[in-house]
Amino acid sequence: MIIYEYLLVPHGRVQNQIQFRLTNFSVNSANDSLTVSGPVSVILAPNLSRIPDAAVTPQGLPLRRPGRGLNANNDPYPTLVCEVGLTESVGSLHDRAPEYFSVRTTIRAYFALKIWEARPNGTFASLALLYLRSNVPNTTPVQAISFGTAPIHGNAENSMPAIILPLISGNHGLAPQACNVRGVPAFQINIPVAELFHGVPGGVPAGLPANLQIDLFDVQRVAS
C-alpha cells in the first residue's frame, strides 16, 4: 500500500526548510557529497511503500541486489528520511520508525516533525523526533524536543505512545525553555554524519563535522 499526504501550506514551508537545511549541509560542509531529494516512493516491505517528505542519500552507495532495492531499479536506500506531520498523530509518526528500519531497508536515521494547529492566540506546539537504527531499541527516539511557541497541550501528551512523553525536552515540563532565538543547544537536532555515510566505500569523507545539525528555531519560524 502506498500512503499519500496532502501538501498543506504550512507542511510545504516546513518541508522546504528541512530540504534547504539538508542541502546547505551537503554543499557547505560535505563537499556536495549528499543527494537531497523531496518526496520519493520508498519500498519498505512487500506491499508496503511510503513517501517521505525528504531524504538524503550519500554518493557512492552501490546498487542493491535484485528485489531488495529502494525501487524496481534496485537503487540504494537513502540513509536519512524525514516526515512532516500536520494531520497525523505523534503515534502515527512514531509507528513509521519500525517500517523505515525494516529488514529490507538500509535507512539509518528517521527524523519526524509534528506541528499542531495554531491556538486562538496564534501560538502553536511542535515536536521533533529523531530515531536511529543503531539505537537499542531503534523504535525509541534518541531526541524528542518540544520547540513550538507554546508547550504541548495535555490532551496531546495523553495520546502519545508511552515511550515518548518522558523523553521530551525543550519547551516542556516543569521548567520549559523558550525556543525564541537561533543557536540554543536545547533546540538542536544532531544527526550523526557517520550514519549518513553508512555503507559508502571509504566511509565518512575527511574533515566533516560529527553531526548534521538542524536548528529547530529555523523550523519553528516557518511552521506557523
Averaged confidence pLDDT in the chain: 93
- Name the percent of the chain lying above pLDDT 70: 96
Cβ 91 vs Cβ 121: under 8 Å:
no
pLDDT in tens, 1-21: 343 333 446 889 999 999 999
Q: What is the mean pLDDT of residues 114-121?
A: 94
pLDDT (0 to 100) of residue 9: 62
Single-letter amino acid, residue 176:
P
Cβ 113 vs Cβ 219: under 8 Å:
yes
Q: What is the 3-state secondary structure (H, E, C) of 116-141?
A: CCCCCCCCCCEEEEEEECCCCCCCCC
**DSSP character string of 155-170:** HHHHTS-TTTGGG-EE
Cell 516542556 found at: 172
Q: What is the pTM of this model?
A: 0.94
Q: What is the mean pLDDT of residues 42-60?
A: 95
pLDDT (0 to 100) of residue 176: 93
The C-alpha cell of 143 is what?
531526541
Sign of the Cα torsion 168, 132, 43, 27 reads positive
pLDDT (0 to 100) of residue 55: 97
Considering only CA atoms, give the Rg of the chain.
17
pLDDT in tens, 20-37: 999 999 999 999 999 999
Higher pLDDT among residues 110 and 46, named by residue: 110
Q: What is the mean pLDDT of residues 141-150?
A: 97
Number of helical (H) and strand (E) elements in the chain, helices listed first? 6, 11
**How do the domains of the chain map onto residue ranges?**
9-223
The C-alpha cell of 74 is what?
534496485
Q: Which residues pair with 213 in a beta bridge?
A: 190
pLDDT (0 to 100) of residue 179: 97
The class of domain 9-223 in CATH terms is alpha beta
